Amino acid sequence: MTAPALDRLVGYADALPSLPEVVTYLVRALRDENADLETLTQHINSDPAIVARLLAAANSASTGVSKRVQSVGQAFMLLGADRVVNIILASSLIYRYDERASGFSAPLLWRHSIGVAICARALAEQAGINPELAFIGGLLHDIGRLLMYTASPGHVLKALDRRQHDDIPLIAAERAVFGYDHCDAGRVLASAWKLSPDIVDAIAAHHEPDGYGNEICDLVHIGECLCHALDLGELQNNRVPDLSELACAHLGLSWPKFASRFAEIEARFDDFRLALGL
Amino acid sequence: MTNKQRIMCLAPARAAPGMVLDKPVYDREGAVLLTAETVLDPAMFEQMIRRGVKAILVRVPDNRDEETIARELVDIRARIETIFRGPGSAARSELRDAVLDYRIESSR
């Protein structure tokens, strides 16, 4: 059987659970400077499952807060808005898409995505670019893999086998099996989910950002390479993808200088993994 | 046994009472929260977490012998070689060198 064609992939997007409403709201609110904490809290409170996970994460060992966090408002006060928003985004995605099969594990994919999100965020902070957008781009960069798995798990496992056997990059293995890769599939799903154009591009371009002229694309691409380089998430057959000279030049990135933040990135990653139980 | 110490970077929640700060801790606004050489106690962990401190540098006793350290360095180089296998851009090589230096520095 042949793999589903790229233009038919969007038909499988319905088989994936839709993004929780609060996540779509948060993605919009992060771009809107007028969004206030009260409205944000109301939206979060509209989804009891998300409130439960936020409070669980806020009370987990990693936060070390001795007083129990009992409300969303308290979580904002104790952890800060950035951290609350990121915990909600990450935990709602992880719990909603929890596919596991031999050779494919969504939790592993999320662990890697959190790593990329944290790297992209730190790079954005350094470059003076919106760090939350970079975080979301990193968190969502591999969603194309979920869509491909939903459309045809057999072909995904075949591509993973091929990567392992020939020791080639995943996108090369996917192209050989599907005729396209998870960046193309990610663009399809991100467009179906009506994510912002920046994020759609960042997902589509995370392996080849040149030509997009979009800072979020550059950040997610470099974040991906850095996440592999720092071995975050204990990936099988980890190999650092090729790194775009142009993307690094756009951000004025100097690795010897940026290396002073490696330790902080590793600590943030550990913190997130603990909070999310990944 | 020597009194050698090593510097470790930890999230505040991972630190233990009695550890000594190697570098001052700043909050998100850049104000000094704790000075270098402070001996940490549990109240300080909570304070750092509340103020959004992500990572701190502490000194801990280093009980490793020379042979262990040398073996660790060999493993570090091998791991970096493995994950950076295959061809790549000059930027990728710079990233490799930065990560290698960082790993070697952290293991000393």
Give the integer Cα–Cα distance in Å for A242 and B85.
10
The tokens of A278 are what? 């990944």
Higher-pLDDT residue of A145 and A103 is A145
Q: What is the ipTM of this complex?
A: 0.83
The per-residue pLDDT for range B81-93, each reduced to its tens digit, is 999 999 999 999 9
Domain match, B15 and B50 both: yes
- Does residue B84 share a domain with residue B42? no
Query: Containing domain of residue B35, as a range?
Result: 5-61
Please state the pTM of the whole predicted model. Answer: 0.79
Distance, first Cα to last Cα, chain A: 35
Domain shared by B56 and B86, yes or no: no
Q: Per the CATH hierarchy, to which homologous superfamily does domain A8-276 belong?
A: Hypothetical protein af1432 (1.10.3210.10)
| Residues in chain B within 8 Å Cβ distance of A229 | 83-84, 95-96, 99
Q: How far is CA B107 from CA A154, A253, B69, B102, in A?
A: 43, 25, 7, 9
Q: Give residues 188 to 227 of A whose Cβ lies within 8 Å of B.
A: 225-226
Report the chain B residue with the minimal C-alpha distance to residue A268: B54
Does residue B57 sit in the same domain as residue B73?
Answer: no
pLDDT per position as a tens digit, A35-91: 677 777 887 887 777 787 777 777 664 445 556 677 888 888 777 777 787 778 787
Question: Domain tally for chain B?
Answer: 2
Q: Is A164 at the interface with chain B, CB within 8 A?
A: no
| DSSP character at residue B39 | B
Tell me the domain boundaries of chain A.
8-276
Inter-chain CB pairs, A–B, below 8 Å: 99
pLDDT band at A12 (very low <50, low <70, confident <90, very high): confident
Tell me the shortest Cα–Cα distance from A245 to chain B, in angstroms.
6
- Best mutation target, A224, A230, A243, to test chain B (most B CBs within 10 A): A243
Residue B24, by phi and psi: left (phi above 0), alpha (psi -120 to 50) or beta?
A: beta
B-chain CB neighbours of A64 within 8 Å are 12-13, 45-46, 49
Q: What are phi and psi of B60, to 5 degrees?
A: -130, 155
Please indicate whether residue B55 or residue B28 has the higher confidence score (pLDDT).
Answer: B55
Residues B34 and B52 in one domain: yes
The domain that contains B50 carries what CATH number? Answer: 3.90.105.10
Beta bridge partners of residue B26, listed in sequence order: B32
In the three-class reduction of DSSP (H, G, I as helix; E, B as strand; rest coil), residue B25 is classed as strand
* Residues B45 and B92 reside in one and the same domain: no
Q: Same domain, yes or no, for B25 and B55?
A: yes
The pLDDT score that the predictor gives to residue A62 is 43
Residue recorded with tokens 């939790």:
A107
Q: Do B83 and A231 touch (CB under 8 A)?
A: yes
Residue A32, token pair as written in the block: 């809107």
Question: Mutate which of A170, A260, A271 to test chain B, going by most B C-beta atoms within 10 A?
Answer: A271
Asked if residue B77 and residue B37 are part of one domain, the reply reads no
How far, rounded to the nearest angstrom, does the alpha carbon of residue B96 sit from its chain's CA centroid?
18
* CB-CB under 8 Å, A242 with B89: yes
Q: Are the Cβ atoms of A244 and B95 closer than 8 angstroms?
A: no
Task: Name which of B50, B90, B106 is nearest A78 (Cβ-Cβ).
Answer: B50
B94 and B77 in a single domain? The answer is yes
